[in-house]
Homo-oligomer: A and B are copies of this chain.
């Protein structure tokens, strides 16, 4: 089918890229529509025509963000043979992404809107949902490790370990935001992986569950 009507004067992909840069630097509420219009090179009315509302634009920005900047850590999680290597690669890919010279030194998913006005509650929960799916992705990889016989531990320890590495990933963004270097993050990751060797490498995870203490004496 041929294109009807007046053709676009801007490239939507380029415009989303420019919007990404602003939202990334200033967060959701810190970015105004006039800021966006200027950066995207079009009138604000064109933004509404092309992308809907500010919240809609942000959702499309985040979708693109997930398939570009957010992709390496996700791929690292699935594309390594052993679970430990996968987690290590995921952490290192995260550190790479949040210390890039050409972008803000943190993950937009984590810091673009952790708090804010009451009226933007839905946007914050939209981001929180994605973050919770990040945890779920880590947990799935650990579950796969258990299924592979690669990882041996009680079920609730798998949950804890997955949440633990999600916590580390999120903490790394604050560190990088506050000026930590790539090398400093690498040292943090080394410490975080030392926990792996203790919890998953040893026979027993030394009281990792909060409730009943179940001692698992199986060896790997």
Point out residues on A near B: beta carbons under 8 Å: 25-27, 29-30, 68-69, 71-72, 75-76, 89, 92-93, 95-97, 100, 104, 106, 110-112, 114-118, 120, 128, 131-132, 156, 159-161, 163-164, 166-172, 174-175, 177-180, 182-184, 186-188, 190-192, 194-195, 197-199, 205-211, 213, 215-220
Tell which of B72, B120, B177, B190 touches A217, judged by Cβ atoms closer than 8 Å.
B72
Q: Is the interface of A mostly helix, strand, loop or mixed?
A: helix
* Copies per assembly: 2
Whole-angstrom distance between the Cβ of A151 and the nearest chain B Cβ: 14
Flag if A112 contacts B111 (CB, 8 Å). Answer: no
Known contacts A111-B114, A217-B96; A164 and B191 CB within 8 A of each other: yes
On chain B, the residues within 8 Å of A220 by CB distance are: 68
Flag if B178 contacts A160 (CB, 8 Å). Answer: no
On chain B, the residues within 8 Å of A76 by CB distance are: 215, 217
Tell which of B171, B172, B198 touches A194, judged by Cβ atoms closer than 8 Å.
B198
| Cα A112 to Cα B104 with chains together (Å) | 18
On chain B, the residues within 8 Å of A104 by CB distance are: 115
On chain B, the residues within 8 Å of A191 by CB distance are: 160-161, 164, 195, 199, 208
Flag if A213 contacts B182 (CB, 8 Å). Answer: yes
On chain B, the residues within 8 Å of A209 by CB distance are: 187, 190
Known contacts A160-B187, A187-B210; A118 and B219 CB within 8 A of each other: no
Whole-angstrom distance between the Cβ of A74 and the nearest chain B Cβ: 11
Interface centre among A95, A159, A216, by most chain B C-beta atoms within 10 angstroms, is A216
User: Residue of B at shortest CB range from A102?
Assistant: B218
User: Residue of B at shortest CB range from A163?
Assistant: B188
Flag if B186 contacts A206 (CB, 8 Å). Answer: no
Flag if B186 contacts A210 (CB, 8 Å). Answer: yes
Whole-angstrom distance between the Cβ of A16 and the nearest chain B Cβ: 14
User: Residue of B at shortest CB range from A215?
Assistant: B92
